[in-house]
Structure 1
């Protein structure tokens, strides 16, 4: 094929031939490069790849949660206020009325003293009274009355109850600090004839023993009337129980 015929070929054929020649030259150059520098092609490829490397976009970091707003504090309930001071109480002035004094009407005394049973009344056995009765119309002491008049009372002259052995030990704590009062009937001979409890203690057994011992041990000078004659009378006796010092 002549040169003239090549130049007369159509442009499309000429372009294909040129591309073929260029490809052959590229292959020859690539073969030489691989023969003398086998890693050059890899570096070139890596350079081209790194040149066109595209970094993937990072996902945005999550934003920290916004702090929740503090709860709205409710307005404090207003404290109750003290009530206004009350009116001062002023006591009403009072006046104590003067005490009313009622005078009892005077009792007119009779011109003559009356007679009756007053001369024989009192704490005595049945018999002559202890009053100062008399005969006549005067108010003074008579001379022929049946009462004791200016006589004397009975007096104990002998006998004592002062030993703890006279009473039972079992009831000692019951009667200690207590007392009994008895009434003793004294005859005209000065001997007691009867005894009764007037004011009992907590120990009834001790009360009975007191009466029994009084009848057995006591002796009296009998009571007398205004004329000095012995009469029957009642004598009161109080018995107390207590611890002696040192017991």
Structure 2
């Protein structure tokens, strides 16, 4: 019997996977030695092997060219329309005819002056504007200024029944009546120039009321726009209870 037969009998059958692994190890060792000693040679072999298994890319078909489409003809401009003309409208005649005034006659003049009548300011007593005499109004320097505040009663009372005589028929005849008198309060605050504005049934009592207002009552006089005291009217009402 040969040596190989004796080896198989001692160790049994050889295992093919082990043999394949041993072969691969030898090839790898040879490949590593070749890359170390001849790198250019091994690189060219690798390129040839890779190119043998490389699948070239498939060329994509080119898309068909777009179709040439002609744009539709828009056509020519139409004829212009006719211009609208408004129908004339007239208002009906008025039912009542309008009366026309007769023209005024033109004034004739033979003078040469450019103004007529009173001017704004003059030298006579009838001139308008502001003057310097008494009673010249708000802007005058005299004592005739216009009052802007009323006189105010500040002192004195008329409340004593013994100031009036007993009328005929007794005091009951005068009870519930009244009299209103008008006086002028001067710049000194005293009343004067009393008159009966609204009388009572007793004329004697009205006269006595005027005397008492002038002699017994005191007032704060009215003032003008500059604060100066000016004379002004005052109305006093006297009632009997």
Q: TM-score, with normalisation over the residues of structure 1? A: 0.39
- Who wins on radius of gyration, i.e. which is larger? 1
